[in-house]
A and B are shown apart, each in its own frame.
Chain A
Amino acid sequence: MSDLLRPVAIGRDLVRRDGMDKVTGRARYAYEADVPNASYCRLVQTTVARGRVEAMHTDAARQVDGVRAVITPFTAESLHTDGGELAVLQDQEIAFRGQVIGLVVADTAEAALRAAELVEVTCSTAPHDVALSADRDDLYKPEKVNPSYETDTSDGDVDVAMAAAEVTVEQTYTTAMYHNNPLEPHATTAFWDGEHLTVWDSTQGVHPTRAVLADLFDLDKEHVRVICPYVGGGFGSKGEPHVHVVLAAMAARAVPGRHVKLALTRQQMFSLAGHRTPTIQRMRLAADRIGHLSGIAIDVVEHTAKMKEYAEQTGVPTRMMYAAPNRATTHRLAALDVPAPSWMRAPGECPGMFGPEVAMDELAEALGIDPIELRIRNEPDVDPETGHPFSSRNLVTCLREGAARFGWADRDPRPRAREEDGWYVGTGVASSVYPVNRMAESTATIRFERGAYVVEIGAADLGTGTWTTLAQIAADALGVDVEDVSVRIGDTRYPVASVAGGSSGMTTWGSAVVNAARAFRDKHGSAPADGAEADGSTEDNPATEQYAMYAFGAQFVEAHVHRDTGEIRVPRLLGVFAAGRIINPRTARSQFIGGMTMGLSMALHENSVLDPRHGHVVNHDLAEYHITTCADVTDIEATWLDEHDPHVNPMGTKGIGEIGIVGTAAAVVNAVHHAIGIRVRDLPVTLDKLLPGL
């Protein structure tokens, strides 16, 4: 890889360019597309988890004043698809509770809602099954796990290592089912002009969404335009299009000449917008008395939908995290009558660093070794999985730096050693990791326009800061002042860009921008004519074949557990990260603390409760699916090392959107254990799990 850019704009603490539009609410999100003569779409969903739609009566619905169209599986247009999540309204089969089986378009939202309620549905039902357990006899081994990792790996013999070890840990840990719940519900405004489709969609990738719509509706890609300047959060759930986009387009086709607006309700987001599978993680650690691991293994059981396979790569981080000669990982799936699981912030790493990082704490306790020291003793020289050197690996520095900042040194390791005003106080630590991902395809155009540089790329800003950070990268690549660069993203009119996923945005889009800048200078020199233009694309990085590339971090938690009630408070969270070069410290810090706070939320609150009787998530709204609120946080700080990695990309960045949520929940569990001596192995940590041991 060529030399790193000289950071001038990169590294500057710049205020978000879209800030004023956001604090005033003038930023226009997908539902808010400024269109004339809008009509409104409302969905009809099944109330059974498996079966068949036998009949639908829509007369009463059609008679509601203002209703323009009602579409059912009996009347819907045929899509070009062979099934799966997006084959909506294509047949009468019911694959999960909450599946869309109809839609209504009306002049007003009220009329659409009323009419949707009046659609009469007759279903036959079949027995459904949504209960995950590790004892099921129908668990199967998927061919790959997301996105294309080996399902199982094995080196040496963990059974032998366990039998021979001086100390072992063998425990099962579980994480709950989670819903991404971005604050902006998934929404689409759609419009057909003859055979041209325009959608304003809340998406992490306008180009990938366009490709999917073009396929489904059998259109030339050039005939589909997707627009999305702002995304009200996605966290993976807007990474792939879900059915609402398709339904909005179908609805719009039914009312020619009109724009149709469709927003999922918060309740619908619990069945139509993806979720993270619950996981069951059987961990085995084998070690000698000084804490050197001789074996590490994780066996993961999780669910997928019968309708569409998605295999979360939960076991993957165990493959590379610590040195151990004997290592094994497996993934097994139960295919259930549930909506399709999908990406949620740090798929794989987030749940997959829960079991291992709690198990490491249990091992440290069993050995009487400080948990930070235990991790340092198992630091590998090279990637244990591939044998490649790490392009940079500064986990140990993160742990040490964090320990110093957090005040770890005088920690009494015994549980219940500290009590203040009726609260037991404990501290815990866990490691974080996230791979450096690069997507295959992205192109940027740079043009010189009226004395300034315009960067165009169909990228996305989910709140991550792309509007601002791409300008910083372009400025340094062009060698100009950042004020002289403007950025245009979020529209398929701009060159193709990959999805904002896998923390790959800066690596992928940033590399395209750098290449475009270099091409621009090669072609036009330093005194370009007005209108001068050049393209650049991201390309394969040969260094990925030679180096293992990851960001690392260490998270520290202080937990208080009330002596009498078991109430849990987490007044302090510190994350120290080694994530390459930071483009903008202001937006970066927000990403880190945002991830950590979501990790705290996972540790203490989040839990989608699937009712086995009816097959749906019963707590399907924000009153009952609890996420961290302002009152739950006091002091959350994120900091990072000044890390220079010459191998990852010309910016030296590693991606920071996801690592913040990795390890947090384990650190909370470890801190709660230190506070009160109770090991909670099943998330979330709620007081009912502590009460019996108080």
Chain B
Amino acid sequence: MDAAISLTVDGEGYRLTVDTRTTLLDALRDRLGNISPKKGCDHGQCGACTVLLDGRRVLACLVLAATVGGAEVTTASGLAEGDTPHPVQRAFLDHDAFQCGYCTPGQVCSAVGMLDEVAAGWPSHATTDLTAEPRLSQAEISERMAGNLCRCAAYVNIVPAIEQAAGEVR
């Protein structure tokens, strides 16, 4: 069964017909040629496919493309303005917060979405005072980024990178 959808990806509008079984991740990668979100597991277990869907971080492998008609999708590629990196990307470069780079676009989108969640006052498992505004400590960052696996294990560089970027994004 097919469904016709229109959506915006990294600022560009697309209309396409998708098999209703197609995930947003496969639609982006295989249909639209947007290779920025990566596929590490296809089961919502690694975070490599993280994109921003109407501003919120989602795992694109767990979203059916047919359900996102009218939505705005931003990938790590779209976060950069051409050759100018987004502050989170700049911070990842500064801190060498990656090696192989396969988890990286997902980490970057996840960090951008996560900083918005903190700004909106969403608590996490690491939040000690649920009545106060969450403060972006190391523990908060590492807890909130725990869904993005990095087998190269750049975590101790990712956390300070996000700390750096947090100052610039807000």
Contacts and interface: CB of A to CB of B under 8 A. Distances in A.
A636 B83 contact: no
Interface string B130-170: 00000000110111011111111111111100000000000
Given A24-B89, A597-B155, A463 B142 contact: no
Contacts of B142: 630-631, 633-634
Contacts of B92: 19, 23
Interface in B1-59: 19, 21-22, 26, 29-30, 33, 35-43, 45-46, 48
A21 B101 contact: yes
Given A185-B39, A633-B155, A634-B142, A25 B104 contact: yes
Contacts of A265: 42
- Of the four ranges (under 10, 10 to 19, 20 to 34, 35 or more), the interface on chain B belongs to 35 or more
B50 to A, nearest CB: 11
Contacts of B156: 593, 597, 633, 635-637
B91 to A, nearest CB: 9
Interface string A641-678: 00000000000000000000000000000000000000
Interface string A591-611: 101111110010000000000
B97 to A, nearest CB: 8
B76 interface: yes
B100 interface: yes
A479 interface: no
Binding site secondary structure of chain B: loop
Contact of B43 (A18, A40, A589, A621): A621
A25 B105 contact: yes
Interface residues of A, number: 65
B154 A590 contact: yes
Contact of B96 (A464, A587, A634): A587
Contacts of B154: 590, 593-594
Interface string A450-464: 000000000000111
B108 interface: yes
A524 interface: no
Interface of B: 19, 21-22, 26, 29-30, 33, 35-43, 45-46, 48, 75-77, 79-80, 83, 85, 89, 92-94, 96, 98-105, 108, 126, 138-139, 141-143, 145-159
Interface of A: 15-16, 18-29, 31-32, 34, 38, 40, 108-110, 181-185, 230-233, 235, 263, 265-266, 462-465, 586-587, 589-591, 593-598, 601, 621-623, 627-637
25 contacts: A15-B93, A15-B94, A22-B105, A25-B35, A25-B37, A25-B105, A25-B108, A26-B36, A109-B26, A184-B102, A232-B102, A266-B46, A462-B100, A587-B96, A591-B99, A594-B153, A597-B155, A623-B45, A628-B153, A629-B146, A629-B155, A630-B150, A631-B143, A634-B138, A637-B156
